A and B are shown apart, each in its own frame.
Chain A
Amino acid sequence: MRKFVTLFIALSFATLCMAKDVIIDQKDKTFIPTKVTVHVGDNIVFKNSDGFAHNAFSDNKNNEFDIGMQRPGEDISVKMKHVGIVEVECAIHPNMHLKIVVK
């Protein structure tokens, strides 16, 4: 019984900690989807399905990042470290917006 409980705790802890990969595509100069909710520790994986470079950055406190130049076909992943709202833009195309809610 004791063993079982430990196993149970260990397992649930593992699922809790298991970071998810959440995919955001960049296509036709838009982030797809444009809004997403994730948990602390999850990875946002930026894809680029356009035939030209993109970028993604956020200046929001605690979750600041800038993936630099992202070539077509390249995947770049960013870990969401803190709870909060993360507003993301493409540094090349100011019309591209993405909102990440980190819970």
Chain B
Amino acid sequence: MKNLIILSLLGLVFGSALFGADNSRWIRPADVPVPKDNKITPERVKLGKYLYFDTRLSKNDSVSCATCHSPFTAWADKNDKAIGVYNRQGTRNSPTILNSAYNLRQFWDGRVKTLEQQALGPIQANVEMDMNLTVLIEKLKNIRGYVKLFKSAYGDEGITKDTLAKAIASFERSVVSKGSPFDRFIRGDKTAISKKAQEGFKLFSGKARCNLCHDKFNFTDGSFHNIALGDSDIGRYAMKKRPAWYHAFKTPTLRNIAKSSPYFHDGSVKTLVEATTICANGGRFKNDKKKSLYMIDNHISADEIELIVAFLQTLSEESLDINIPDKFPQ
């Protein structure tokens, strides 16, 4: 009897160590953060989805948000640096918009906070959609289908810069991770990912210290770091010359990461093995005097990198979960 009690106590201790309270940090909270003045409704998401996929929001009707953030390429794209209207190339890699609703800051350099503030940027950016907002609002007002959709989504607010941004943001808030093999594993299905991947997860949150920055369900704590890539983009430092912001970029999510190559803000890395090695072992230029103090060489071997990559591959969404509009409002 006594033994039984001890045994079950032991079981409890080990059980909770493996699958206990602490695992909740890896599970996506059901509620998406939503601003008070833009509650989510099905009408707003529907309108936002049309706008997101509609190339008529660009100067020459050729580029939509989905050109660079496509569901078929993990809500990002395959270019190292983004390509917009007239094949103009920007200076940074397109990040995924999956789970961007949870971001503390938007963009690689975190220059805006909310999805509403973000949405009008790319529409006007010369290298992205190059569209004048006044012209765009007039254009939308002349499309009867949109007039109706805006009416049912935002009532008397009508078609304005604000409602345009709010609708797109509402759609983005519906683009959240729904499930990967890792999610099944963390909820208790021990066979959902391979033994190798499980080893990799231990390294990720142990010896390799990845979770120092790639923490919680979205694998980012939103922190800014200089990982010594050695390019000329000064990152968050452009906002204000704070020492901590020199060449610092936002820690990106790792959800869907196996599908969103190329990597880093400059798209300079093609493989997960290389990206992981840079992050694990002290940055690309290890002797860079200005690199983040966090970027220490953990001496992770090539075999261990392989295990971590096996784990990263379990973060891919299992279903595409989107019906792309085939007809647009006329």
Contact = CB atoms under 8 A, between A and B. Distances in A.
Bound pair (A, B): yes
Interface of A: 29, 52-53, 55, 57, 66, 68-69, 71, 91-95
23 contacts: A29-B221, A52-B212, A52-B294, A53-B292, A53-B293, A55-B242, A55-B244, A57-B242, A66-B243, A68-B243, A68-B244, A69-B243, A71-B293, A91-B245, A92-B224, A92-B225, A93-B221, A94-B104, A94-B110, A94-B224, A95-B104, A95-B221, A95-B222
Nearest to A29: B221
Given A57-B242, A66-B243, A93 B294 contact: no
Contact of B242 (A52, A91, A94): A91
Interface residues of B, number: 17
Contacts of A92: 223-225, 244, 248
B249 to A, nearest CB: 12
Nearest to A50: B212
B107 to A, nearest CB: 12
Contacts of B245: 91
B236 to A, nearest CB: 8
B244 A69 contact: yes
B4 to A, nearest CB: 37
Interface in B73-106: 104-105
A93 B245 CA distance: 11
B293 A69 contact: yes
B244 A91 contact: yes
Contacts of A94: 104-105, 110, 222-224
A62 to B, nearest CB: 18
A2 to B, nearest CB: 55
A52 B110 contact: no
Interface string B207-241: 00000100000000111110000000000000000
A65 to B, nearest CB: 11
Contacts of B243: 66, 68-69
Nearest 6 pairs of A and B residues by beta carbon = A91-B244, A53-B293, A68-B243, A55-B244, A94-B104, A93-B223
B24 to A, nearest CB: 15
A48 to B, nearest CB: 11
Interface in B288-302: 292-294
